[in-house]
Each structure stands twice: as C-alpha cells, then as structure tokens.
Structure 1
Amino acid sequence: MNESSRRALTVLGSINMDLIATADRLPAAGETVGGGVLSRQPGGKGANQAVAAARLGGSVRMVGAVGDDDAGRQLIAALAEAGVDVAGVAVREEPTGTALIAVDRRGENQIVVCPGANAGVTMDGVSLGEDEALLCQLEIGVEAVLEAARRHPGYFALNAAPAERLPAELVRRCDLVIVNETEYALLPELSEARLVAVTYGEQGSALYEDGRLAARAAAQSARVVNTIGAGDAFCAALVLALRAGLAHEEALAAANAVGAHAVGDPSSQPKLSPLEHYLEPRSAVIGSRDASADGGS
C-alpha cells in the first residue's frame, strides 16, 4: 500500500490566495455582518488537491500559474514546502488568483473566485507518462481541461467543480469524475460516465459505474471547523486510494475519513497523515468529534 500510494500524480488546476472572513453568520443579500476575523492563506482547488495528495504520501507535481507578485511567490513556496513538485507552475504577468471567502461558525461558506493568472493555465511544455494519473478541476475552465484530457495517455480524473456543462468527449474520456450531490444533479451528462463518485454530506458517499450504484461508504463523525478544503482532500484521497488498488468501498471509506479529518482543520490546505492512517479503525482515524462530514466536493 505504501509503495503504491507513491504512484505519480499530476494536478492541473487553480492556485489562489484565499482571503477568508470568519463571522458568526453569513450575510444575506445586501446585508453587512460585523465582527469578522480576516485571515490569508494558500488555496485554489488545484493547489489544495496537490497539497493534500502530497501530505497523504503521493508523489505529486502541480501544473498551474501564478502572478509575478508576492502572493504568487508565497503560494509556490507553500506548495514546495508541502512536498509538491512546482516545476510546472508558470509565472505570468496577470495577478495571482484570489478567492474571497466568508465562513460562518458552522463552517459553511460563500466563495467568489477572481481567476487572475489561472485563466491562462495550459499544458504547454508539460509531458505526461502513461503510468501517471492526471487530476483536474474546473476553476481553470473546461477548454483547458479538455485539451489536457486529449493529450494525456493515462488515468484521467476530474473533479467537476464548479459545475458547468461538460462536453460529451470529456465525459467519455474520464476514468473517474468526482462531484457532490448538488453538482451531480446539475450534470445529467454524468449518467454516461465510466465511474462517478458522489458525496452526500451526512449520508456519506457513493460510486456509480456506468450509471449503476457500485459502492457506498458511510460518513464519519467530525467536528466541523471549516469545509473549504475538505472536498479537495476527499478528491486527492480517492484518486490515490483507487490508484493504489483499493476496492471501491474501501477507497470511499478512506476518502470519507480524510474529508472528516479535513473539516476539523481551519486551513484550506489541512494537515493530513499518510493515506494508510485512514484505513485504520474509525476510532483511530478520527478520534472523538461531534458533527458529521464526509469531505465531499
């Protein structure tokens, strides 16, 4: 298991600086909520997934873009510190991407993403081996993801978030698609996908193979602090677990445990243990927590 989890994974996706305002509750439209606390930390769905995969024990490289600014340099340093190969991160004239995030006391959030340099992410100059897995998301746009899918000869996984209409060619190409239940409802074309993982909050997660239920795993109890990076941690864990040869139910259960761990961490890029840790009995994996989460995207 340990050696298998080191199989090569490339993450193509967004790299953002997250500006997070934490308040007692989220504002309604047109409303101002006071008493917030501001933090600034590395984020972006692509970077979050790359960091999670590296901390879980994967051999990971990041393909993305940042601006030639202080935020970009800080984000590259944070990726490298987590053990991610950053040779594929381009530095562009556009400013580094930024996410404006409001979080309430229950960990629920509202997010506005300003893509900046992420809008220009490509696979130019990047080569991928047939034994390498590629994990993408949609914060860099469908066209960039579709081009990567055409070029990559090996295992291709897509976290279809934020949800937008997927070309039939892209759906057919995916070895794995990961979504939450809301995204699944918005993307009927996923009924044609080879393998789809869907997260259902307190109801856990499921895998659908060629449109038929193939496996389910229960959610794991967790104390929810922040849900921003939990879905990304789930994605990274599921890809690594499936690539390591775990059975569907075992891979889902491990990914649920990782997501449950992630929601207890205030960071968009939570500290995680090696993937093997999350295969242990539930009490050893998550300890004593008092809410429920599955780490869904």
Structure 2
Amino acid sequence: MPLDGFRCFMIVVLGSINLDIRLEVDSLPLAGETIHAHNRQYFGGGKGANQALAAKRAGGDVSFFGAVGSDTLAERALAELVEADVPILDIAVVREETGSANIYVDRHGENCIVITAGANGLVDVDMAAAAVASASASAKRGLLVFQQEIPFETNKAALELARLHGVRTILNVSPFDVTSAELSRLADIIIANQHEWAKLSNGADDPDAMREWSGRNDQTLVVTRGAGGVVVSTPMEYFEVAAPVIQPIDTVGAGDTFCGYFAAELDCGRSLKEAAGIAVVAASVACLRAGAQPSIPLRFDVLGLLAKNKFA
C-alpha cells in the first residue's frame, strides 16, 4: 500500500539473503547442552531481505541487491520477496550455497541465531557500485540501507560511494562486529539496538552520550530498546518514542521490521519522529507472529492499529 499524500523516491537495500530454520525450544541452549525442539519451520530471511520486505510492506518503492546460490534453498529464501513484488533482478546467483540461519526461539519469544554466510559472503564491490548507482539515479536521490551480514569491504565501498554521490545512507550495525565502529562513521543515520549502542559508545548509555555522538559525527543516531521503545538523537534534537505494551511470541525480525519501516517513512518525507513512531509500532506487531518475514505487517494494518490506539 503506497504512502498516501507523499511522494516517495527509492529505497535501495544492499544486504543478505538467508533461509531461516526456526526451532521452538523451552529455553535457549547452554554451552555443551543438548535440547529438544518442539517444532521446525522454514522461512525466508537475512537482514537485507527482511528490511527490503519491510520497506515494501510499508509502502516504499524498493530495489534490492544481494546474492543467492544456484541451489534448492534459493527459491524458498526468495519466496516472500517475490510474492510482495520486491524486484529480484539485481540479486546475483553465485557459486556458494544460499545463506542460512538456525534460529532458536524460547517460550518467552527470546532467540539466539547461528548464521552461515554462504552466498552473502560474495556480495562484492561491483554490487555495491550498482546499488549506489540505482539510488543516485532517483529523481531526488534514493535512500541506501545496509546491515552487516555481507563483507565489510563491500559495505565500506558502498558507503564511501554513496557519500561521494550525495546519497543518504542508513546503516544498521547488526550483527555487531569489530568493523562496526569504522563503518558507523561513514553513514548518515545509524540504527543500533541498546546492546550494539553500548559497544559503540564503550558502555555509555545516557542522553548526553548520544547527543555527543551525533554532534561529533554529524549523524542521526537511532537506538532501539525493545519494550523500552526508541531513542533518537541528532545534532539538533533528542527525543524518545514509547513502544506499545505487548506479549511477544517471537522477536526475530522485529529490528529489521523497524529498519524497513523507518526507511520507507523517511524516504516518503516523514519527519524523524513520525517515522520512528510508525516503525516502533510495526516492530511491535512483528513480535506477535512467528518467523521474521511472515511477521512483517502491512502498513495498512499498522496505521489501523495506530488510529484505533489499540496499543496505548
């Protein structure tokens, strides 16, 4: 559903594609522990694919660059994107197997994830250049979205090219690693959860630390806090957005839902506060269903819940 009353440009996502294997367990496994799963399900996944799908379901015009293998996993991994009419012409077929993720979800909806990069490890600098070219071809420059499940060199090249061509960028520093601090300095907007932000800030977790970061780096910093909502800092403002009170079933994909919705709302002209407000509700709705991609809500449903004040 398009964003009524707004002129949208283009959201270009450069990122990962996985087949998610979701296992329901009573509790998350400890080191050396063998446990039984109650159920096994297969879903399309990967942070890049999830965020592209979320932006599309939010009403955005989306282009997606990534890679899959020439194997039986690829069709299954791409199924939800195809059904949602996310273009897959820019997704390369490479010699490695399609990426996968084993996701353990406990009875409280918490999770741990083990990823096999596979084809995602071959998303290269040429793909980065193509993604930037796609964003810069938009009438008013598109918005380029990144995560950290593809090679560091690819993300760095894309961020540097985007800055050179005046393309606005969003970097989700997830999954966090030793390159996150370097990459984060190259983006216009940083999205991190509270644990990732603590690593970026060396443990500082207060408004002053966020304001200092934004001012020093001339960036917008968005920190998601799960049930605690979202905090946003720019060189000019600082504000918080509360999250709806829910009973989560599965938190996998909630962060990606937030990122995709946030990008779509910004791309179509919403303010930071408006975009964060809609995105945090979308992320909360995503926690009410199992699986990353099946749980991503349509914008119509998100705005309907907002209008009814259902979560207040």
Amino acid at match of 1:145: N
1:221–1:286 Cα contact (<8 Å) kept = no
CA contact (8 A) 1:260 1:286 kept: no
Q: Post-superposition shift, 1:188?
A: 2.5
Q: For the structure 1 residues 57 and 148, does the alpha-carbon distance in structure 2 shift closer, same or farther, using more than 3 Å as the test?
A: same
Residue 280 (structure 1) shift: 5.6
- Of 173-182 and 22-31, more deviation after overlay is shown by 22-31
The 1:286–1:50 alpha-carbon spacing in structure 2 relative to 1, beyond 3 Å, is farther
- 1:225·1:264 contact (CA, 8 Å) conserved in 2? yes
Is 2:140 aligned against 1:134?
no
Q: Which residue of 2 aligns with 1:206?
A: 231
**Deviation at residue 40 of structure 1 after TM alignment:** 1.1
Cα separation, partners in 2 of 1:256 and 1:36, compared to 1, 3 Å = same
CA distance in 1, matches of 2:287, 2:115: 21
Q: Does the 8 A contact of 2:189 with 2:220 survive in 1?
A: yes
| Contact 1:222-1:286 at 8 Å conserved across structures | no
Query: Counterparts of 1:257 and 1:273 in 2: how far apart (Å)?
Result: 12
Match of 1:233 among 247, 254, 257: 257
Q: State the distance in 1 between where 2:276 and 2:266 align.
A: 9
SS in 2 for 1:124: helix
Q: CA distance change for structure 1 residues 283 and 26 in 2, over 3 Å: closer, same or farther?
A: farther
How far 1:155 moved relative to its partner?
A: 1.2
Q: 1:271 to 1:285 in 2, by over 3 A?
A: farther
Is 1:259 the equivalent of 2:283? yes
- Pick which of 58-67 and 30-39 moved more: 30-39
Structure with the bigger percentage of strand? 1
Which residue of the partner structure matches residue 250 of structure 1? 274
Q: Residue 73 of structure 1 is aligned with which of 66, 75, 82? A: 75
Instruction: Tell me the CA shift for residue 56 of structure 1.
Output: 1.0
Cross-structure match for 2:174: 161
Aligned twin of 1:146: 156
Shift of residue 75, structure 1, vs aligned partner: 2.2
1:27 matched to 2:29? The reply is yes
1:295 — aligned with what?
A: none
Query: What pairs up with 1:1-297 in 2 under 5 angstroms?
Result: 1-2=3-4, 4=6, 6-124=8-126, 126=130, 127-130=133-136, 131-152=141-162, 153=165, 154-166=167-179, 170-188=183-201, 191=213, 192-193=216-217, 194-210=219-235, 214-269=238-293, 270-274=295-299, 278-279=302-303, 282=306, 284=308, 286=310
Q: Quote the Cα distance in structure 2 between the aligned partners of 1:40 and 1:27.
A: 20
TM-score scaled to structure 2, two decimals? 0.84
Using the alignment, how far apart are the partners of 1:170 and 1:240 within structure 2? 22
CA RMSD of aligned residues (A): 2.3
Q: How many residues align?
A: 286
Structure 1 window deviating more from structure 2 (41-50 vs 264-273): it is 264-273
Deviation at 1:50, TM superposition (A): 0.6
Distance 2:149 2:309 in 1: 31
Determine if contact 1:163/1:187 at 8 Å carries over to the other structure. no
One-letter code aligned to 1:161: S
Change (3 A) 1:3 1:73: farther
Shift of residue 28, structure 1, vs aligned partner? 1.7
Q: Distance in 2 between matches of 1:111 and 1:35?
A: 14
- Counterpart code for 2:159: A
**Greater shift in the superposed pair: 226-235 or 249-258:** 249-258
Change (3 A) 1:286 1:89: farther
What is the CA-CA distance between 1:32 and the residue it aligns to?
Answer: 1.6
Task: Give the deviation of 1:4 after TM superposition.
Answer: 3.3
TM, length-normalised to structure 1: 0.88
Could you tell me whether the CA contact under 8 Å between 2:142 and 2:267 is conserved in 1?
no
User: Aligned to 2:284, what secondary structure does the other structure show?
Assistant: helix
Following superposition, the deviation at residue 230 of structure 1 comes to 0.5
Q: Structure 2 stretches of 5 or more lacking a match?
A: 203-209
Contact kept? 2:69, 2:97, Cα under 8 Å:
yes
Contact 2:14 2:144 in 1 (8 A): yes
